[in-house]
Amino acid sequence: MTNRYRQYRTLLLVLCAAIGSAKVARGESAFAGKICVNKTSKVLTVRSRCRSNETLLKDQSSLTGPQGATGATGAAGTDGSIRIYGDGSAGPLNVTSGFNNFVSDNPQFTTRNVSSGATLNVPSGTTIRCTEGVTIAGTILVGQSAIGGVYNSTASTNVYTASLLPPHPGISKQVASSGELGAAGATLKGGRHGYSALSGSAESFLWHAPWGGGGGGASQGAGGSGGGSLRILAKGTVDITGIIAAGAVLGSQGGGGGAGGVIFVASQTGVTLQSPGLIAASGADGGASTSGAAAGGGGAGGYVRIISPNNSVDAVQITVQGGSAGSSTTQISDTVAIAGGAGGSCVEGGGTGGDVGLGRPASSSGATSGSAGISVVTTADPTSLF
């Protein structure tokens, strides 16, 4: 082979390589040959043109090779359900002394500690999430939520008018009613409590923020507001040696007492509640009778739910008692009188408002206490429940 021939051959190879590279850069095939199939042997050959004993393979999908072995399984991702405990981005929450109002636009803490002697006030509907543990040696007070009713009445000769702001029902199915308004000498019926939310099915109830117990019905005075709601979700242990309280407000001047609030404590690790620790969601007492109003009914007790795989809970340290009926010792003598307002309801019913007897002076009778609330302690991992 002469040197000049070698030079031409090398130049041709370089030119072909350059053309192929340019085609690849444009996303084209570097080789424009055809795949030919021998009609007899079925052998594949790549040519610029197929021979007479060959056919052009137009559908190349059949050239797919056998599937390779399955690769190794990748590492498991983070369990998305643990996000109910937050991401800890707000760091620790430490309340060491005095009275403190809880204000946070990112309630995702690592730990939460309320020291002995310290008080933390939280609004109703608050959820606090912790990636680690919670220690409550001080006091957490949950604000009221559902307001009580207000009944304003006026009287002129043989004309009696009244404007009523009804109470909020909270999580109950119906508001507590106010007492009847009437003239001197009439028999008047006290308000009836609303329907309870969960009687017989409390275990299925998990959350209904921001409401807690319902407000009391009105009489001459206002009904009491219902207790609020609070939820604590912690991945670590929740240790309660202090107090968590979601109490209601007393009825005034014959108004019904508010119902107790709603408190949830859930931990993926465990919950400890032993003396002197206390969780309280009690109903409030009804208002006493006056010269123009019968006594109010007591508010129903609230709802407390604890869920964790390891519970060390003394049931005596959970208080969900109903409020007492208002005192009926004062005789009714006013020209216009109002029967007592009913107590607010929660998971159980509130008490009935007192009646006004016939004539003047008249007695107040029939007011009843609110029903006790419900507490449920469940041994389970709560992670997938919320």
Bridge partners of 163, per DSSP, are 152
SS3 category, 4: helix
Q: Does this model's pTM top 0.85?
A: no
Torsion angle, alpha carbons of 326, 329, 335, 339, to 10: 30
Residue 247 falls inside a structural domain: yes
Question: Do 121 and 219 belong to one domain?
Answer: yes
Nearest 5°: the CA angle 83, 86, 90 is 155
Average pLDDT over residues 345-362: 89
Question: Do 314 and 199 belong to one domain?
Answer: yes
Could you report the per-residue pLDDT of 280-306, keeping only the tens digit for each?
A: 999 999 999 999 899 999 999 999 999
Question: Do 48 and 109 belong to one domain?
Answer: no
Helix then strand then coil, in percent of the chain rounded to 5, is 10, 30, 60
Could you report the per-residue pLDDT of 316-326, keeping only the tens digit for each?
A: 999 999 999 99
pLDDT at 156 over 60: no
Q: What is the average pLDDT score of the chain?
A: 84
Q: What is residue 202's predicted lDDT score, i.e. its pLDDT?
A: 65
Q: What is residue 384's predicted lDDT score, i.e. its pLDDT?
A: 86
Bridge partners of 99, per DSSP, are 119
Range with the poorest average pLDDT among 132-146, 275-289, 323-337:
323-337
Task: Centre a 10 Å sphere on the Cβ of residue 49 and count the other Cβ atoms it contains.
Answer: 9
Separation between Cα atoms, residue 170 and residue 147, nearest integer Å: 9
Question: Do 359 and 281 belong to one domain?
Answer: yes
Question: Do 49 and 100 belong to one domain?
Answer: no
Question: Do 41 and 125 belong to one domain?
Answer: no
Q: What is residue 23's predicted lDDT score, i.e. its pLDDT?
A: 46
Asked if 170 and 211 count as a contact pair (C-beta separation under 8 A), the reply is yes
Residue 1 falls inside a structural domain: no
Q: What is residue 30's predicted lDDT score, i.e. its pLDDT?
A: 46
β-pair type (181-182, 337-338): antiparallel
Q: What is residue 123's predicted lDDT score, i.e. its pLDDT?
A: 95
Distances (CA, A) of 184 to 218, 276, 322: 19, 52, 33
Bridge partners of 122, per DSSP, are 142
Bridge partners of 364, per DSSP, are 356
Question: Do 231 and 369 belong to one domain?
Answer: yes
Q: What is residue 19's predicted lDDT score, i.e. its pLDDT?
A: 46
Q: Which residues, 6 or more positions from 48, have their beta carbon under 8 angstroms from its beta carbon?
A: 32, 33, 34
Q: Which residues, 6 or more positions from 272, have their beta carbon under 8 angstroms from its beta carbon?
A: 237, 238, 239, 240, 312, 313
pLDDT interval class at 60 (50, 70, 90): low
Bridge partners of 318, per DSSP, are 279
Q: What is residue 154's predicted lDDT score, i.e. its pLDDT?
A: 58
Q: Can you say how many angstroms the Cα of residue 339 is from the centroid of all Cα atoms in its chain?
A: 36
Task: Centre a 10 Å sphere on the Cβ of residue 159 and count the other Cβ atoms it contains.
Answer: 8
End-to-end CA distance of the chain: 84
Range with the poorest average pLDDT among 109-123, 174-188, 250-264:
174-188
Most confident by average pLDDT, 68-82, 169-183, 242-256, 326-340: 242-256
Task: Centre a 10 Å sphere on the Cβ of residue 334 and count the other Cβ atoms it contains.
Answer: 16
Question: Do 105 and 166 belong to one domain?
Answer: yes
Question: Do 49 and 140 belong to one domain?
Answer: no
Amino acid at 314: D
Separation between Cα atoms, residue 144 and residue 258, nearest integer Å: 9
pLDDT interval class at 16 (50, 70, 90): very low
Q: Which of 163, 102, 110 is nearest to 134 (CA)?
A: 110
pLDDT interval class at 94 (50, 70, 90): very high
pLDDT at 73 over 50: yes
SS3 category, 367: coil
Question: Do 47 and 182 belong to one domain?
Answer: no
Separation between Cα atoms, residue 135 and residue 111, nearest integer Å: 8
Q: What is residue 262's predicted lDDT score, i.e. its pLDDT?
A: 94
Residue 207 falls inside a structural domain: yes
Distances (CA, A) of 264 to 102, 125, 155, 207, 217: 17, 11, 47, 8, 27
Q: How does 133-145 read in b/e, with b if 16+ C-beta sit within 10 Å?
A: bbbbbbbbbbbbb
Q: Which residue has the higher pLDDT, 28 or 143?
A: 143
pLDDT at 194 over 80: no
Residue 114 falls inside a structural domain: yes
pLDDT interval class at 360 (50, 70, 90): confident
Total number of domains in the chain: 2
Q: Which residue has the higher pLDDT, 10 or 121?
A: 121
Residue 68 falls inside a structural domain: no
Question: Do 305 and 203 belong to one domain?
Answer: yes
pLDDT interval class at 327 (50, 70, 90): very high
- Residue 48 sits in which domain range? 19-57
Asked if 119 and 138 count as a contact pair (C-beta separation under 8 A), the reply is yes
Separation between Cα atoms, residue 228 and residue 215, nearest integer Å: 11
Q: Can you say how many angstroms the Cα of residue 3 is from the centroid of all Cα atoms in its chain?
A: 89
pLDDT interval class at 44 (50, 70, 90): confident
Residue 62 falls inside a structural domain: no
Range with the poorest average pLDDT among 42-46, 113-117, 234-238, 380-384:
42-46
Residue 9 falls inside a structural domain: no
Question: Do 121 and 255 belong to one domain?
Answer: yes
Q: What is residue 32's predicted lDDT score, i.e. its pLDDT?
A: 57
In the block, which residue shows the tokens 């001197």?
A: 184
Residue 65 falls inside a structural domain: no
Distances (CA, A) of 347 to 92, 112, 214, 366: 34, 29, 10, 22
Q: What is residue 67's predicted lDDT score, i.e. its pLDDT?
A: 79
